Amino acid sequence: MSKLFSPVTLRNLNLRNRAVVAPMCQYSAVDGFANDWHFVHLGRFALGGFGLVLLEATGVVPEGRISYGDLGLWKDEQIAPLARIVDFLHDHGSAAGIQLAHAGRKASTPVSWRGPDDLATEEQRRAAGYEHWVPVAPSAESHDPANPDFQVPTALDAEGIRRVIDGFVAAARRADRAGFDTIEIHAAHGYLLNQFLSPLSNHRTDNYGGSLENRMRLVLEVTEAVRAAWPAEKPLLVRLSVSDNAPGGWTPEDSIVLARELQARGVDAVDCSSGGMAQGRITSAAAYQVPFSKAVRDGAGIATMAVGLLGDIEAAEAILENGEADFIALARGALDDPNWAVHAARKLDGVYDLWPVQARRVAGRDQVLGTRA
């Protein structure tokens, strides 16, 4: 059996394989509620054979959403439509995870496909769930002063920081009630927790700014509080931007230090991405972020998830075999081919077992066409 399709266990969670659907914002919610779009969008990945499906960045407080169209988990009423999705994923063999997030100064941004004409009337705004608010951040500095989509945020005070921590904890408890198998704390891509980590965005002079220890403080406090609230038998993930990809910014060496601290606080795996600050620059290419996964895995001794243009099946298998990651996560690749996992299982192992029983006639088609592995 291939490494990609060998089962793996995190705490008491048994995953049928190491193929993961990474979180992908859909900007299609109203007031944070999941709807039929999310149900169909996510359910197809379970039918496509993925071992773990991670839901998009989900606001732990209303002001923590990237846009008014984000999912949320700040009130109990948002649990039921998420539980419906979780139940479908479980019924078709996939584990279900949710990324809990706070966008910080990158909050309250537009939904890209809606222009002024789409929000011209009160009726249109209400149908879209349009809202606008002033975001919060470690420091009162815009993500990108040259871009009018980003506002100057309010710097968080002690009460605001407490609200962030409490929001993550309450959302984690709701995620458990919805039946999720794992949660991922979003500390990447220039959002709030990443903003506290990075010297490019954190210019505080209190206990949450300055030294590496201080800049890591909020991420570690959130992690400790969430781990205490999240069932001990369920794994906890954290997504990091392993590098800001910018001079003077957060580095892979910093991420290794943080990953060790996260592991000591009960984190089971790190989802290794990069970037998110306006100053950052990196050239995208196939598997371009895999070195970040390897650096954290080797340096911190923690399981890692590689992500970033990983659609080549043999290359994905080689990443696992070479010890560069423990999981392969696809986002745009999964959008392009929701059946990527079943196709990969056919190519690597010559099996059709991951197909739903209703679809296994594909094997007969392949046999007739002479394309069966």
Contact between 171 and 100 under an 8 Å Cβ cutoff? The reply is yes
Contact between 127 and 121 under an 8 Å Cβ cutoff? The reply is no
**Tokens linked to 246:** 């910018």
Distances (CA, A) of 139 to 36, 136, 169, 217: 38, 8, 23, 15
**Tokens linked to 275:** 């970037």
Residue-wise DSSP of 256-299: HHHHHHHHHTT--EEEEE---STT------TTTTHHHHHHHHHH
248: left (phi over 0), alpha (psi -120 to 50) or beta: left
Known catalytic membership, residue 191: yes
Distance CA 322, CA 314 (A): 12
Contact between 238 and 187 under an 8 Å Cβ cutoff? The reply is yes
- Compute how many other C-beta atoms are within 10 angstroms of the C-beta atom of residue 153: 24
Distance CA 22, CA 97 (A): 10
The DSSP H or E segment spanning 99 is strand 95-101
Which member of 27, 191, 208, 352 is catalytic? Answer: 191
Q: Which residues are catalytic?
A: 191
